[in-house]
Structure 1
Amino acid sequence: MSSPDAGPPRPPRDERPPDDTGRRIKVWFRFVPREDWLPYDTEGLWATRLSADTARVDNVPFLQDGVAEGETVRFTTDADGVHWAEGRVADSGNCTVRVLPLPDGPLGRDARAVHARLAPFGLGGEVFSAEFPLVAFTVPGGADLRAIKELLVRGQDEGWWHFEVSCSTEAWRAA
């Protein structure tokens, strides 16, 4: 991501025809920035084009709520060749969880320590930046959701981190 003043970089115009399925593209999501949070109002996610106007999200979102890795989204392409998400077409069964270690907690600002706590569940995550060690995880629908939730709550209760679930499933809510 670039500096907040410049906004996120926009991708170059696509040079291939829109029916070029299987190609990775950036799909951009618009949202209202949250108060006291990162100052962005868009997020670009890598996706694999499935058709002229649909793509499967290939990475975990840091900012966009209501979407998880593996979801299929519909998009439109503007005159500059930028692909803008219009909505979700198919769920993936995955959840998105974001974890921010507390600077004064036992993990400090160490994103690797967050990874280490969740690694036994087979979860890998992406880190926003060294300065802001927010870790975004994709939680597959087949994971031990109850145990993951228990660990997340325990970590928050013990001052390791704050966490949020930005995209959940019925299975997650029932676990």
Structure 2
Amino acid sequence: MVSLAPSERRPAEPGLIKVWFRFVPREGWLPYDTEGLWATRLSRDTACVANVPILQDGVAEGDVVRFSTDDEGLHWACERVEASGNCTIRVLPVPDGPLGRSAQAVNEQLAPFGLSGESFSSELPLVAFTVPADADLGQIKALLTRGRTDGWWHFQESCITDAWRRA
């Protein structure tokens, strides 16, 4: 089992816990099988995800998840119990494209929509974005598609809604 190191992207704040997600590594993808996300505890076994997932599919910032706690005190996600309406989109700049390997350049392209993403690392500038439910989904989707067509980046729809699909 290869685990993604605990995220230090968000400092531990009162009320935040780390909830771990297990997934099956995909061929040609990063060799990890877990990701820890910060979350606000809501009850004994539920929490609201407080940061954007970089690797985990099917969950977005603001979603409520049920978890179980193991003998070592680690909280493991069991299921999503309430969707936030937010989407999670991953963007990877094309190394020889107009943005180079710059996560910052990706962020700058999406900043006019009020979006800012978290980058995996400087070696792998994969940027994950939370797209709020009330964002201009059509315009964001159009920019992502144009960027892919123009060779700026590749993108993945990691967690999307019906509103995103219709946009």
TM-score by length of 1: 0.89
**Are the equivalent residues in 1 in contact too, given 2:2–2:33 (CA < 8 A)?**
no
Indicate the percent of aligned positions where both proteins have the same amino acid. Answer: 69
What is aligned with 1:86? 78
Aligned-partner SS, 1:25 = strand
What letter is aligned with 2:16?
A: R
Q: Deviations over 1:37-93 (max 9, x none)?
A: 100000000000000000000000011000000000000000000000000010101
Give the distance between the partners of 2:28 and 2:37, measured in 1 at CA.
Answer: 23
1:165 matched to 2:157: yes
1:116 matched to 2:108: yes
Give the distance between the partners of 1:33 and 1:9, measured in 2 at CA.
Answer: 15
What is aligned with 2:11? none
Q: CA deviation at 1:8?
A: 3.2
TM-score by length of 2: 0.93
Give the distance between the partners of 1:32 and 1:92, measured in 2 at CA.
Answer: 24
Match of 1:8 among 4, 7, 24: 4
**Are the equivalent residues in 1 in contact too, given 2:6–2:35 (CA < 8 A)?**
no
Give the distance between the partners of 1:52 and 1:153, measured in 2 at CA.
Answer: 41
How many aligned residue pairs are there? 161
**Are the equivalent residues in 2 in contact too, given 1:68–1:92 (CA < 8 A)?**
yes
Unaligned runs of 5+ in 2: 8-13
Give the distance between the partners of 1:167 and 1:150, measured in 2 at CA.
Answer: 17
Q: CA deviation at 1:9?
A: 4.1
Runs of 4+ that moved beyond 6 A: none
1:60 matched to 2:75: no
What is aligned with 1:14? none
Unaligned runs of 5+ in 1: 12-21
Match of 2:87 among 80, 95, 98: 95
**Higher Rg:** 1
What is aligned with 2:10? none
What letter is aligned with 2:3?
A: G
